[in-house]
Structure 1
Amino acid sequence: MSVTQQYLLDTHRARQHGEPLPPAPGTHDRAVVREWREYRRFRAVLAGRPAHGRLRRALTRWLSPHPGPRRRSAG
């Protein structure tokens, strides 16, 4: 059963029983992502790691060109 089908079923049951309707799927997604991000920042501070800019630094390290292995010149 998809999320939409479950929501429609829950809405139908709530109306039959006179209960408040459930929130639509995706209503609280932004709040959940914001709380998750704040929790990760909090855990980083407790662990002694920087709380900001970690992703950018990791991507910079990963995407920066690395010098190849040095070869000795014959001579």
Structure 2
Amino acid sequence: MLKFTIVLLLIAIVVSLFSGLVFLVKDDGKSHRTVNSLIVRVSLAILLVAVIAYALWTGQLHMNPTPS
């Protein structure tokens, strides 16, 4: 469930990134949709970092110190 949440947040960040690009190209600076998209993207990134930190703190997610 945790990995699904992380993947879902990553997908939401990418969708917000591309929606911001579309708003930037189509609006020509007439609306605040690009800024709102940036706010959503930053909020999702903060939430993603918080979820990963919580998962590491509780032991649900482990780091790989010796990759092979």
- TM-score range (shorter-chain normalised) is 0.3 to 0.5
Select the structure with the greater relative contact order (CA < 8 A; seq sep ≥ 6): 2
TM value normalised by structure 1 = 0.34
Task: Tell me the TM-score normalized by structure 2.
Answer: 0.36
Q: Which entry has the higher C-alpha Rg, 1 or 2?
A: 1
